[in-house]
Chain A
Amino acid sequence: MGICHTYTEDGRCVSLLKILLTNHCIYDCLYCVSRKSNNIKRAAFTVDEVVELTINFYRRNYIEGLFLSSGIFKDADFTMERLVKVAKKLRQEHKFNGYIHLKTIPGARDELMREAGLYADRLSVNLELPTSSGLKLLAPDKNHKDMIKPMASIQQDILKFKEEKKLIKSTPIFAPAGQSSQMIIGATNESDLDIIKTSSTLYQKFNLKRVYFSGYVPVLEHQNLPMLGTPVPLVRENRLYQTDWLMRFYQFNPQEIVNETYPNLDLEIDPKLSWALRNRGHFPVDVNKADYHMILRIPGVGVKSAKKIVAARKFGALNLDKLRKLGIAMNRAQHFIACGNHIGISDMDSLTLRQMILQNGKSKFSANFSPQLSLFQ
C-alpha cells in the first residue's frame, strides 16, 4: 500500500519531505530552472536545518522520510559531501529510522557514493533525458557515460554487501530500497520506443527498482526546446507509466508494446488494450481455464483481479455476473473473454472495436481528446 501522508490540491501524493539542498548550480541545462544563466534568487539550506526539519516532521507523522536532491555548488564532491552529512547525522545522532532517498551527484568520489549507500534507503542517479543525442542538445556539459558509471558502481555495491551479509551477519545494509532513476520526457523529439528502450535497459542492466518519467514543463524560449506554452505531456507520461507497469507486473516484453512498427503509444487507449487489439488471435481468453499469464493480458483485468479470478474459479465456474462482482472493468474485458455461454467478440475488426470501447467507456483523459473542446482552444 501507498505511503502518502497527504495529497496536494492537484491530487499528487506527499510522502516525503522533498527538497533541494540548494538551487545554486554550476551547470546550464536548458530544461532546468536552476540553470546557471537563469536570473533567479539563490539560496541554500545548512545541513542542520535539513536534519531538524526532517526529524520534526517525521515525529509528527507528517512524512515517511526525506528525499534530498541538490543543485551543484562548486563541484560534485563538495555537494555530495553535504548530502551524505545530512543522512549520516539523521541516522547516527537522531536514530532516525524513516526513509531516506538521496540523489547522488555524478562525478562524486566513489567513497562518498559508498557512504551514501550506508545511510540512505535508496540512491538515484538522474538520467535527465532518455537519449544521448537529446542530452548533447540541451545539456552539452553532461553525458550519459558519467551517469551510468555511478549506477554500475551502486549496483555492484548492493550485490557485494548482500553477498557479504550472507557470510557475516553484522555487515551493514547498503541502500536496501535499491536505486532508481528519472528522465524528462517531451523536451526533445524522442519516440516512446526510445524511452522504453532506455528504461528497460536500466532495469535489466542495473537492476533498478523504478524509472520515473516527468513530462517537460516549458521554462525557456529556445530553438532547441518545445515552445513556451506547449502543454505538459500528462497523458503521455501516464501511458509510459502504464507501459512500465506492464513490463514489471504483467509479464510483458517491451517489444510487445512498442517496436519499430509501432514506435509511439496510442494516447487514447491504454497500452494493454492497444496490444490486445493488435493481437486478436490470443482472444477470447477462457477465464475458467487460461493460465495466470494469459488472464493478466485481458484488458480491464488488473493484477489483483487476475489473482482473484485464479483463486475464485477453484470453487466453481465463473460467469459474467460473478466477474462483475469481483470488480473487473467489464467495458473492456467483456470483448476479450469467454466464460460460461459468453464468448467475446471475434468477428469485429479491431478499429471498430476500439471505437466501440472508447464510446462506451469514460476516460479520465477524454477532455484531452474531445473534438468540441478543440474548437475553443
Chain B
Amino acid sequence: MSFLIYDGTFDGLMTAVFESYALKLESPQVYTKDQLGPQLFEQVLEVSSDEEKALRVKTKIKSILGQNGLQMLWKATLSEGAEVGNIVLGVVRYALKTEKNILKDYGHPSVLSLQEIMKKLSRERHRMTAFVRFKLASDQVYYATIEPDFDVLPLISDHFKNRYADQKWMIFDLKRNYGIFYDLRKVIPVEFHNPEAGQSLSVISIEWDETEKEFQSLWKNYFKSTNIASRKNTKLHLQHVPRRYWKYLVEK
C-alpha cells in the first residue's frame, strides 16, 4: 500500500489524485500530514501542490461529474475529516473507471460516504446561517464569533452578503482563527494577529453600541416568553440546538 501526503488544500488533493495515476499506484491512500501518523514499512510520498496537474484532474472530473460534481468534491474537503481525501479519491477513481456520472449511485461505498459528508456539511452550514448572532459595536459594525465543526465560512459568505447588504459585518471563526468581513461592497477574508500569543478574539474587548444590551435583553425576554413551560422537551431541544452552540447564542 502507498500513502500520498497532500497539503490540505483542494488543489493539493487534486495533485495527489494526478500522481496516483501517473505513478500507477495500486490502492493508494491520501492523507494530510497531520492525519497520517508515522509509517514504518509503507511507501510514503509527499506531493506538493501543482496548479497545472490539479487543473487537468479538475477538467477531467468536470467533464464526467459536471461543475456541480466538482463543487461537491471541493465542499467535501471543508469537512476536514480524516478520510475525506480517500473518499474523494474513491469517487474520482470510480467515475474515471466508469466514465459516468455516478454521484447518485448510493450503493457504492465512496459515493455513499461522500453523500453523508455533504449531509453533515450542509447541516452545519445551515446551523451557522441560523445561529450566528451579531452584536452591534459602536463603530456600527455587526460582529459575530463562531466555532463550527467544519470550515463553513466559505459556504455561508454569500448568504450573509445577500441578506445584510446594507450593514457592515464580520463573522470570525475562533477555531480556525480567521474571519470574513463585509465592507458594504465585498466580502474579504481577515486574519487576526495578536501580539500576545495565546489570546483569542473573544478576549479583545469591543466597545458595543449603547442600544446593544437593550436589544439583547428584549430578545432573551421574547425567547423566554415564547416557551411553554408545561410542554418542556429537553431531548428535542438538544437535538435542534446541541450544547456546543450555546455559548454564542444570546438567548441561551
A interface with B by C-beta (< 8 Å): 1-14, 17-18, 53, 56-57, 59-62, 95, 97, 308, 311-312, 314-316, 318, 322, 325-326
Known: A10-B232, A61-B144, A311-B106. A5 touches B131 (CB 8 A): yes
- Picked from B215, B229, B236, B240, the residue with its CB within 8 Å of the CB of A57 is B215
- Give A4 to B127 CA distance when docked, in angstroms: 9
Shortest distance from the beta carbon of A155 to any chain B beta carbon, whole Å: 30
Tell me, yes or no, whether B247 is within 8 Å of chain A by CB: no
Q: A6 to B142, Cβ gap below 8 A?
A: no
Q: B233 to A10, Cβ gap below 8 A?
A: yes
Tell me, yes or no, whether B192 is within 8 Å of chain A by CB: no
- Give A17 to B226 CA distance when docked, in angstroms: 10
Q: B107 to A318, Cβ gap below 8 A?
A: yes
Q: A18 to B226, Cβ gap below 8 A?
A: yes
- Picked from A8, A62, A322, the residue with its CB within 8 Å of the CB of B107 is A322
Known: A60-B142, A311-B106. A8 touches B136 (CB 8 A): no
Q: Mark B160-203, 1 if CB is under 8 A from A, else 0.
A: 00011011000000000000000000000000000000000000
- Give A18 to B227 CA distance when docked, in angstroms: 12
Q: A312 to B106, Cβ gap below 8 A?
A: yes
Q: A6 to B134, Cβ gap below 8 A?
A: no
Q: B233 to A61, Cβ gap below 8 A?
A: no
Interface centre among A9, A53, A95 (most CB of B within 10 A): A9
Q: Which residues of B contact A59 (CB under 8 A)?
A: 134, 136, 142, 164, 167
Tell me, yes or no, whether B58 is within 8 Å of chain A by CB: no
Q: Which residues of A contact B229 (CB under 8 A)?
A: 9-10
Q: Which residues of A contact B133 (CB under 8 A)?
A: 60-62
- Give A57 to B133 CA distance when docked, in angstroms: 10
Q: Which residues of B contact A97 (CB under 8 A)?
A: 163
Q: B106 to A325, Cβ gap below 8 A?
A: yes
Q: A315 to B237, Cβ gap below 8 A?
A: no
Q: Which residues of A contact B107 (CB under 8 A)?
A: 312, 315-316, 318, 322, 325
Closest 8 CB pairs of A and B: A11-B236, A315-B105, A10-B231, A311-B104, A7-B240, A8-B227, A11-B233, A312-B106
Shortest distance from the beta carbon of B85 to any chain A beta carbon, whole Å: 22
Q: Which residues of B contact A10 (CB under 8 A)?
A: 227-229, 231-233, 236-237
Q: Mark B208-231, 1 if CB is under 8 A from A, else 0.
A: 000100010011001100111101
Tell me, yes or no, whether B55 is within 8 Å of chain A by CB: no
Q: Which residues of B contact A61 (CB under 8 A)?
A: 132-134, 144
- Range, interface on chain B: 35 or more
Q: Which residues of A contact B164 (CB under 8 A)?
A: 59
Q: Which residues of A contact B108 (CB under 8 A)?
A: 315
B interface with A by C-beta (< 8 Å): 102, 104-108, 112, 122, 126, 130-136, 142, 144, 163-164, 166-167, 211, 215, 218-219, 222-223, 226-229, 231-237, 239-241, 249-251
Q: B222 to A17, Cβ gap below 8 A?
A: yes
Contacts between chains A and B (CB distance < 8 A), count: 103
**A98's closest neighbor in chain B, by CB?**
B163
Q: Which residues of A contact B249 (CB under 8 A)?
A: 6
Q: Which residues of A contact B222 (CB under 8 A)?
A: 17
Known: A14-B226, A61-B133. A7 touches B241 (CB 8 A): yes
Known: A10-B237, A62-B250. A5 touches B130 (CB 8 A): yes
Q: B240 to A56, Cβ gap below 8 A?
A: no
Q: Which residues of B contact A11 (CB under 8 A)?
A: 231, 233, 235-237, 239-240
A-B contact pairs, 13 of them (CB 8 A): A6-B241, A7-B241, A8-B227, A8-B228, A8-B237, A10-B227, A11-B237, A11-B240, A62-B133, A95-B166, A311-B104, A311-B106, A314-B104
- Picked from B104, B122, B142, B237, the residue with its CB within 8 Å of the CB of A9 is B237
Q: A60 to B106, Cβ gap below 8 A?
A: no
Q: Which residues of B contact A60 (CB under 8 A)?
A: 133-136, 142, 215, 219, 250
- Picked from B104, B215, B223, B231, the residue with its CB within 8 Å of the CB of A312 is B104
- Give A12 to B237 CA distance when docked, in angstroms: 8
- Give A312 to B234 CA distance when docked, in angstroms: 37
Interface centre among B106, B108, B164, B239 (most CB of A within 10 A): B106
Known: A11-B240, A322-B106. A57 touches B226 (CB 8 A): no
Q: A57 to B219, Cβ gap below 8 A?
A: yes
Q: Which residues of A contact B163 (CB under 8 A)?
A: 97
**B214's closest neighbor in chain A, by CB?**
A56
Shortest distance from the beta carbon of A310 to any chain B beta carbon, whole Å: 9
Q: A7-B237, A95-B166, A322-B107 are in contact. List 10 more A-B contacts (CB 8 A).
A: A1-B126, A8-B226, A9-B237, A10-B236, A10-B237, A59-B167, A61-B144, A62-B133, A308-B106, A314-B104
